[in-house]
Amino acid sequence: MSKQWTVADMPSQTGRRVLITGANSGIGYPAALELARKGATVVLACRDRKRGEAAVERLRGEVAGAQVELAILDLASLTSVQEVAGRELERGLPLDVLINNAGVMAPPKRQQTRDGFEVQFGTNVLGHFALTGLLLPALERAAARATSEAERPRVVTVASIAHKRGRIRFDDLQSRQRYSPMEAYQQSKLADLMFALEMERRLEARSSGVMSMAAHPGVAKTNLFKVGSSTGLAAVAEKAIAGVIGALLNSDADGALPTLYAATAAEAVGGGYYGPQGFQEMRGGDVGDAQVAKQARDEAAAARLWSVCEELTGVRFLS
């Protein structure tokens, strides 16, 4: 499956409520922007209040009458996750889409979350695992009112092509014995994809109306590929290299397309994994089925990982 799917193909999201983590930047903001344009009430779940408020103001400036809310969420703190989920549940509102988008990528030195987890595993995996489990009642509430397959609520977890090189080191999940920035990131993104697929298996086993799927943005342009402060010949060379690299990468807006497809398209299915179809899945205007590495399909390892996540977070669901 591959098609030239654009935001123009998105169905109306009027009456639907969407929560996006890390929605103030990266692919999170363009995803929030397009959902708001289609009429959704969008909750921007952001770690930094100042940046979150700036994103809300910007979105309201770009979308007249936008229904947007701000939630201050630090995925590196289970207490913060519990507080945000608790406030959301107290409102008694259905949640139609949860987009697990925020993430930490390859800090050069090992860092820890407030709960003592390696920051990439703790944020990318455990924070989102806990948030999803705690918000499941709101998703089930939305499922109860769905009148068609297309209206079923969805959990979209953003993975990465980096998962293909990842492996789950059950003997050292927190990278205490040895820390490699990229290996820890690859592990976290593999775990995200395994979580999304395992959640769908558990939802199906219970005939739930909620769907779980995953998406990846390819490789979006970041400040890493912007020209720096070099001068002379170095600046010329830097600009040439940046141009070559940039030609292979997605913009943030293009990178958000697979996430939006998973979150809204009638053709998207539970257990699906979607991404761009260009060179090495790095870029492309068409959205299609993404490649799932063999290790991500290991159901026994996924079940074990689920149990570990429950133990580490104290959040148990679909068990």
Q: How far, rounded to the nearest angstrom, does the alpha carbon of residue 245 sit from its chain's CA centroid?
A: 24
- Which residue is catalytic, options 29, 185, 273, 274? 185
The CA–CA distances, whole Å, from 218 to 15, 161, 229, 284 equal: 30, 7, 27, 8
Residue 19, phi then psi, degrees to nearest 5: -115, 125
Beta bridge partners of 20: 44, 99
Count CB neighbours of 50 within 10 A.
9
Exposed, middle or buried by CB within 10 Å (0-12, 13-18, 19+), for 79? exposed
**Side-chain half-sphere exposure of 183, counting CA atoms within 13 A:** 14
Where is 120: in which H helix or E strand? helix 119-120
The answer to whether the beta carbons of residues 167 and 109 sit under 8 Å apart is no
The percent helix, strand, coil of the chain (3-state, each to 5) is: 50, 15, 40
Q: Is 185 among the catalytic positions?
A: yes
Q: Which residues belong to the active site?
A: 185
